[in-house]
Each structure stands twice: as C-alpha cells, then as structure tokens.
Amino acid sequence: MAEAVLERREQKHENPMREIRIEKVVVNICPGKPGDPLERAKQVLTLLTGMKPAERRAKKTIKEFGIRKREAIAAIVTLRGKNAEEFLSRAFSAIGRKIKASSFQDGVFSFGIKEHIQFPGVKYDPKIGVFGMDICVKLYRPGFRIMYRRRRRNKVGPSHRITKEEAINFIRGKFGVEVV
C-alpha cells in the first residue's frame, strides 16, 4: 500500500503540469517621502532591474509621518520570466544565499535587502545614497490560470497548490539557497 502511494507521488513529479515556476518578482523601495528621495529610489530600481519603476501612492493621511493621501511615497518594479530569475540570482548572492524558513508561505516568499550596494557589481554613489528594499516572489504551476480567467473561473485543487515545503525545495534546487 505504501509503495503504491510513493509511486503515485513520483508520477506526479514527472507530470509537466506539476513543474513549479516563478510567476513574478516584485521589488519595492519605500522612502516614505515624495520628491528627491523617491526619485533616487527610482534610479536605484532602474539600475538594479533595468526597468522603469512605477510609483505607489499613500492610501491615507498620516500626520505623524508627514504623509498625505494620494501622495507618491514608494517605487515598485515587477519582473517576470528570465529577468526575474536573473534578478533573484543576484539578490540571493547579495544576502549570502541564506533565507529564513519563516519567510515562506504557500507559493509565496519574501525577503529584504538592507542596502542596495550589497548587490554584486553595484558601487556606492554619494548622489544616490543607500536604499533598502523588499523582494516578494510568487510561484505557480501551469493551470493556475483558472483562478484568474474571466470565463469559467474555478478554484485550484489542494493537490495542485504549492506548499511551503515544495517552495523551499524549489528554491534550494534552482538557486542553491540555504533555508534556515
């Protein structure tokens, strides 16, 4: 009986629809102030990703922080495909190829980089300064489209969802990252 279960699990891994892929990588820098700090954060994102960042606006006014509603306070870039994999490889080398297991959730994981100058090949520029960033990665399997399509939308079955352990094994195998 146990052998049959193991055999079925091995067959699942041979199925191309069970292959885990990177859907997107979202890189976010939030200086919290509009104007010059935000423009410098955009320069950093352009330097690291090669793409033009989008601005994110404040949802509400917070007087203590000096933030007004609908004021641009953050810059964000979404990477997909080969660009996402190349960026992730560089980001993992910036953090020493170690990530906490608590950073993982079902099919999603996030980590932060304290200083953008930790990236290999990036030098300190006094005109720009130093920025930290958040990196969020979403994993998927082929067939997840049924959640998002307009017509005949449906749920993804529990056996097809990506568990925390599967995400950890994927990152270990693909990028050689140590999960502690």
pLDDT for res 3: 72
Average pLDDT over residues 145-161: 94
Q: What is the pLDDT of residues 3-45, one digit of tens each?
A: 766 666 666 568 888 899 999 999 999 998 888 999 999 999 9
pLDDT for res 65: 85
Query: What is the CATH architecture of 18-179?
Result: 2-Layer Sandwich (3.30)
- CA separation, residue 87 to residues 18, 32, 61 (Å): 24, 24, 34
Nearest to 87 by CA among 22, 29, 144, 172: 22
Q: What is the pLDDT of residues 41-71, one digit of tens each?
A: 999 999 999 999 999 999 999 999 888 999 9
d(CA 74, CA 66): 14
> And the tokens for 151?
């017509």
18 and 126 Cβ atoms separated by less than 8 Å: no
Residue 161 pLDDT level (bands cut at 50, 70, 90)? very high
pLDDT for res 15: 85
d(CA 170, CA 83): 18
Residues in the chain: 180
Domain boundaries, the chain: 18-179
d(CA 131, CA 27): 12
d(CA 107, CA 167): 6
Q: What is the pTM of this model?
A: 0.86
112 and 133 Cβ atoms separated by less than 8 Å: yes
pLDDT for res 66: 86
* Other CB atoms within 10 Å distance of the CB of residue 106: 13
The SS3 of residue 146 is helix
Backbone dihedral angles phi then psi of residue 25, each to the nearest 5 degrees? -125, 125
